[in-house]
Amino acid sequence: MKNWQGKRYWLVGASEGLGREVAFCLSRAGAEVIVSARSEDRLKALVEELPGKANYVAVDVADRTAVEAVAREIGGIDGVVYLAGVYWPMKAQEWDNEKADMMGEVNFLGASRVVGSVIKDMIAKNAGHIVLVGSLSGFRGLPGAIGYCSSKAGMMSLAESMQADLRTSPIDVQLINPGFIKTRLTEKNDFNMPFIMSAEDAAKEVFDHMNTDTFKKSFPMVFSWVFRLSQLMPDWMYYRLFGAK
């Protein structure tokens, strides 16, 4: 277990769902948390509930200038956790450019903007912790997931590239790929979601991994095997099993 006392962590995408619960995990452990999202009202309410030292700064991760300004305002941090995400079910036959763009902006480019706004300071002080929360859907394309799968695959590749560059440095990079979590986003799905977890249980998985020195964690474990093994399948087999029927 890491010593979280006195550490400062910036959580982006923390106003509800998984991000909110991870904020509670860190706060209970003794870390100071700065929470960000677009909804100032929700952030303010969260800060009032957290048991430890906490503050909030509203930000739209689609706005690079705003992200960089908030990073400067927050100042020195020990770690950043990127949990922001948007999702709409979308088939190729029902393509919506506005929604597809927003998934790319928030799920992938937002993560890049946030990391790019803090990593130079981490490199300068030779210490830091970067945690990106992706999705099992990033392993391979799925039906009805235009925009979402590709944005999560981008985040996965981003984390893997950072790990390749920073793995021998004092800056820790971690990638966490959850399965289905019961949130406002998954309420949009009209299909059965195997192994769906509560936000509280998923946050415990995230925080447990943050206490390790391991790069990547995918959960629930059994469900994650399906996605990891799918990468080994030839195309004809994969799309017969997972493509549109």
| pLDDT score of 197 | 83
| pLDDT score of 232 | 84
Which token pair is 28? 């209970």
Interval 77-122: pLDDT, tens: 999 999 999 989 999 999 999 999 999 999 999 999 999 999 999 9
- How far is Cα 150 from Cα 16, in angstroms, rounded to an integer? 23
- List, for the chain, all residue ranges whose pLDDT scores fall below the cut of 50: none
219: nearest Cα among 186, 181, 179? 179
| pLDDT score of 190 | 64
CA angle 183, 18, 225 (to 5 degrees): 85
Q: In DSSP terms, which residues pair with 130 in a beta bridge?
A: 80, 173
Handedness of CA 222, 185, 217, 134 (dihedral sign): positive
